[in-house]
Amino acid sequence: MRVVYSPAHLGHDIASETVMGLEIPANEVTERAERIKAALEADGGFPIEAPKEHGEGPITAVHDPGLVRFLAEAWDQMVAEGVDHPSLMPEALNVRALTEGMGGAANGAGGALEPRGSISGRAGFWAFDTSSPIVAGTYAASRAAVDVALTAADAVVDGEAAVYGLCRPPGHHAARSMYGGYCFFNNAAIAADAIARTTGEPVAILDLDYHHGNGTQQIFWRRGDVLYVSLHADPERAYPFYLGRADEVGAGPGTGANLNIPLPARTTNAQYLRALDRGIEKIASTPGSIVVVSLGLDTYVDDPICDFALTTEVYHEVGRRVAALGRRLVILQEGGYHRPTLGANVRAWLRGAEGRPHEG
Ligand code: SP5
Ligand code: ZN
């Protein structure tokens, strides 16, 4: 299977994140992608290629141009303001309740207006959490991750059965006008939108990250041409908390084109495979020939920030079942934080999808 990878992710080099006010060593680190790359290289069956530049067009087809401008300018503005912090994080967040009772008419926009002043205010306008640090290389890395996804998508549109895009940073928490959850641009959403536009066919996204892909859901909420199916931790207990419930089914032309399957703590291989079959049946019931997979391995039993109980062997079976849909696959990396097994878990999944044995 062809693999698309860019070393530009190394510039998104973060040391720490904050969780509920506590500074902890960062989870979404450069080592993750390097471990995956090393495991695929060692396998011998995964030729690695560089992404092609696709420009800003496919990004602003999905994201607010203001978000792109903010991310492009953030680090330089931080430096220009003399803010000598290791990374940029927001100071105040642009939450819904700021303009509650103001009738949406207070500023004519139905919400707060984009600030163009100090960098801490700008960050809080576009962020939705305080655990997604921006550093000098974050924008270049995020642009490269989009190019990785789009290059993988091009190859599949051109006829490849399955291509893996080693995206870093991940993408599925990034909404049209919002970054967070270690995600800046929504790689999978940008790829799915580009595929839908170039092929004129419906596209399905199968999100297998432990966390709900709130950004992907938001972007396609009203679209009937992009189906979003997600298996994830119940948002009653897990990040991103505010979206991911089973009764969220889409709206307007997108009604019925959003399927959330929330799962309990300690979900086992068997429980997961049953839920997966539901997701696969939903995709099989809709037209289209390409599936974009948001592949997170944070469902692994030893993941340090998650609570499912999946094992390496089941990833091979998950890949096998997804490929058995008979659709072409654009497989894009999302989360997965147990670094010692991350490479083996990705490799098992991809080998399953290719119909190769788990080992050998
Ligand atoms: C792409 C992706 O997987 N993003 C995940 C972002 C999660 N950020 C919040 C981390 C909070 C960790 N809480 C740990 C609770 C352990 N019981
Ligand atoms: Zn995740």
Tokens linked to 135: 């550093």
| pLDDT tens column, 150-173 | 999 999 999 999 999 999 999 999
Question: End-to-end alpha-carbon separation of the chain, Å?
Answer: 16
Query: Whole-angstrom Cα distance, residue 190 to residue 171?
Result: 9
Q: Check whether 91 has a pLDDT greater than 60.
A: yes
What is the average pLDDT across 176-192?
Answer: 98
pLDDT at 112: 82
CA of 260 to the centre of ligand 1 (A): 19
Q: What share of the chain is helix, strand, coil (3-state, %, to 5)?
A: 40, 15, 45
The ligand placed nearest to the CA atom of residue 32 is 1
Distance 298 CA to ligand 2 centre (A): 6
Instruction: Answer whether 166's CB lies under 8 Å from 32's CB.
Output: no
Instruction: Give the β-pairing of 22-25 and 16-19.
Output: antiparallel
Distance from the alpha carbon of residue 200 to the mean position of ligand 1, in angstroms: 36
Average confidence score pLDDT of the chain: 97
| Ligand 1 lined by 184 (C-beta under 6 Å) | no
| pLDDT category of residue 104 using cuts at 50, 70 and 90 | low
pLDDT score of 47 more than 70: yes
3-state DSSP assignment of residue 181: coil
Average pLDDT over residues 187-196: 99
* Cβ density class 21-40: b for 16+ within 10 Å, e for less: eeeeebbbbbebbbbbbebb
**35 CB less than 6 Å from ligand 1?**
no
Over residues 3-33, the pLDDT tens digits come to 999 999 999 999 999 999 999 999 999 999 9
For the segment 203-244, what is each residue's pLDDT rounded down to a tens digit? 999 999 999 999 999 999 999 999 999 999 999 999 999 999
Ligand showing the shortest atom-to-Cα distance for residue 28? 1
Mean pLDDT value across residues 323-337: 98
% pLDDT > 90, the chain: 94
| Beta strands in the chain, from DSSP E residues, in sequence order | 2-4, 16-19, 22-25, 48-49, 162-165, 203-207, 226-233, 258-263, 290-295, 328-333
Quick one: pLDDT at residue 257?
98
For residue 210, how many C-alpha atoms fall within 13 Å in the half-sphere facing its CB? 27
Chain mean position to CA 54: 19
CB 257 within 8 A of CB 216: no
What percent of the chain has pLDDT above 70? 98
Query: Degrees (nearest 5) of the Cα angle 294, 182, 125?
Result: 120
Alpha carbon distance 321, 301 (integer Å): 20
Looking at residues 184-190, what average pLDDT do you find? 99
Chain centre to alpha carbon of residue 60: 17
Q: Which residues pair with 134 in a beta bridge?
A: 88
Report the range of poorest mean pLDDT among 40-44, 186-190, 356-360.
356-360
Number of neighbours of residue 338 by Cβ within 10 angstroms = 18
Which pLDDT belongs to residue 99?
Answer: 85
**Is pLDDT of 100 > 70?**
yes
pLDDT of residue 108: 57
Q: Average the pLDDT over 302-315 and give the result.
A: 98
Q: What is the DSSP letter of 7?
A: G
Q: pTM of whole model > 0.95?
A: yes
Instruction: Determine the pLDDT at residue 345.
Output: 98
**Residue from 305, 308, 334, 345 whose mutation best tests the ligand 1 pocket (most atoms within 8 A of CB):** 305
Average pLDDT over residues 134-146: 99
| Chain position carrying tokens 């550093």 | 135
At residue 319, the pLDDT reads 99
Token pair recorded at residue 42: 């060692």
Q: Is 212 in the pocket of ligand 1 (CB under 6 A)?
A: no
Residues marked active site are found at 173
